[in-house]
Amino acid sequence: MFSVLMMAAAFVASADDQYTPTDVTAQQIVEKYHAAVGHVNGNSYLIVRRLVRADGVETASTQIVGNDWVEIDQRGPITTLEGSSNGQSWWQDANGTVLLESGIHHPDSDGQYWLDPDNAASMRVLGLTQTEPREYVVETTTADGKQRAYFDAQTFLLDRVDRTGSDGSNVVREYSDYRPVDGEMVAFRTRDSDGNAADDVDEQIVSFTENQSVVPAIPSSRLLFALPDTLVVLPVSMDEGGQLIVHATISGHSADFVLDSGADGLTIDPGVARNFGLQEVGGEAVASDVSIGSLRAHNVVFDLVHEVGEFGQLGQSVAGLMGCDFFANAIVSVDLKNKEVKMYPRSSFNPSVAGIQPMAMDVDDCLPRVPASFGGVTGSFVVDTGGFATMLFPGYLGKIHNAWQSPDTPEAYAVSGGYSVGLGAESTIFGVNGNVAVKTYDVPDFSFGPARFQTGEVLVPAIDPSFGGLDARAYDGIIGRNVLLNYVVYFDYADRLFFMQLNH
């Protein structure tokens, strides 16, 4: 699930950060690396890997046929898939939801920027390490952060990569046990570490063999809840903070969940999961039976998130968040004003009858991302039913030339032709990973589908958020409940469409 909290990034010098100067250029190092690695000669392979974590063991099987591939990850009873078919990338989560990626992320967001010789001009060779084994150190800096790649001075194979992200996270990946496989040198062992032993991942290739199987086509989504032929009105209420609360039964226990389209899955508090007797598998829990009104599902996977119960407003505790898998189950309508949530089978939803026009919606990260415009500047925003206010990220706000900071007053005030979030000039809000300082700004000319506001208040965090480790450049902010309550909104994850209807 995304978070608006981030920390400043900085490398900390260590004793071995003393380098001997070298005349070898970044271009030469990258070219020698590619020459040393080589290229696999075949076209179809099956690779089986074993990943050991503090919370368990995972098996990953990857079938490759040309440019198409599919990977199946298995951890206990939980299975996830991802792949690419005819150029279309896709993934299927633990609850069977299949989402097609639309390519919203920057090409270097996977941290492989330095592997492309065409990018060598923006790389910096720091020199040779003075300790054994001697390594060439190449540093790159992008909007995602800074990374140092260490290449063996004799073989030019990659030994490790130290990466500090723009969100302050630091991850070290080590490569070892290189073996030749049909023309390519492959690291059969890798290790990822972020300084916390509980997060360490040791990965070993168990087998790497030629295989003539055909890569499967993109699977269909597996519905979380079976639906009747007509729409279903779900049991919800609204807490005093304006959040819609979904009333569910988990393995025989009553539980309330915040309806949160800004959550990239289903989440539950670990304490609640234990009290309900759910099966825990690493950072996830499996509920054998889940019902919401007349809807029922089995073997539902929840992410375990500490303190998620604090998302309840004004003393009302909640068990977790109803996010992506809930919304992806069908066409879901949310009416904040009348406190209604409905699920429509595709056969019973006809937006043209109501005169509702669709908007394009991306769901690459299991988050609904739609276009909107502030001050004449178009951006991309998460539609967040769990967010009480609309938020602009600092990088986007900097493009708007006629925004101004709100007066330093704690009272809410009405804005003619607009909306107000009711905060003072500077405040602190609670996020998944902690508190974040925000400032309140007045921004003119807000356009969002059929919605038009002359002016209104938005929150702006002190620094661009990490978005839970996602590529923050793909998002410019969130559209929260203070805007959404004016409309009945419809989410169609399967066709990647979003609809809005004025709420009279």
Q: What are the beta bridge partners of residue 17?
A: none
Phi, psi of 249 (to 5 degrees): -125, 120
* CA–CA distance, 99 with 493 (Å, rounded to integer): 8
Strands 266-268 and 404-405, by their bridges, are: unpaired
Look at residue 470 in the predicted model and tell me its pLDDT. 52
386 close to 321: Cβ distance less than 8 angstroms:
yes
Quote the DSSP letter at residue 134. P
Look at residue 212 in the predicted model and tell me its pLDDT. 76
Nearest residue to 494 (alpha-carbon basis) of 325, 244, 246: 325
Look at residue 244 in the predicted model and tell me its pLDDT. 95
Look at residue 249 in the predicted model and tell me its pLDDT. 97
Grouped pLDDT means (10 residues each) for the chain, 504 residues = 33 57 93 92 88 89 91 94 93 94 67 60 89 93 83 96 82 96 94 91 94 83 90 93 94 95 94 95 94 96 81 69 95 96 90 84 94 94 92 90 68 32 51 67 90 86 61 85 93 95 85
Write a three-state SS string for 211-267.
CCCCCCCCCCCCCCCCCCCCCEECCEEECCCCCEEEEEEECCEEEEEEECCCCCCEE
Q: E strands along 375-496, which residues? A: 377-383, 391-392, 404-405, 426-431, 434-448, 451-461, 477-479, 487-492
Look at residue 417 in the predicted model and tell me its pLDDT. 31
Cis status, amide bond into 394, omega within 30 of 0: no
* Amino acid letter, residue 390: T
Angle at 326 between CA 320 and CA 332, to 5 degrees: 125
150 close to 165: Cβ distance less than 8 angstroms:
no
Strands 320-322 and 253-259, by their bridges, are: parallel
Q: What is the CA 123 to chain-centroid distance, rounded?
A: 28
pTM for this one? 0.84
Q: Which domains does the chain have, with CATH numbers?
A: 19-210 (2.50.20.10), 232-347 (2.40.70.10), 355-502 (2.40.70.10)
Q: E strands along 293-376, which residues? A: 295-304, 320-322, 331-335, 340-344, 358-360, 369-374
472 close to 478: Cβ distance less than 8 angstroms:
no
Look at residue 311 in the predicted model and tell me its pLDDT. 58
470 close to 478: Cβ distance less than 8 angstroms:
no
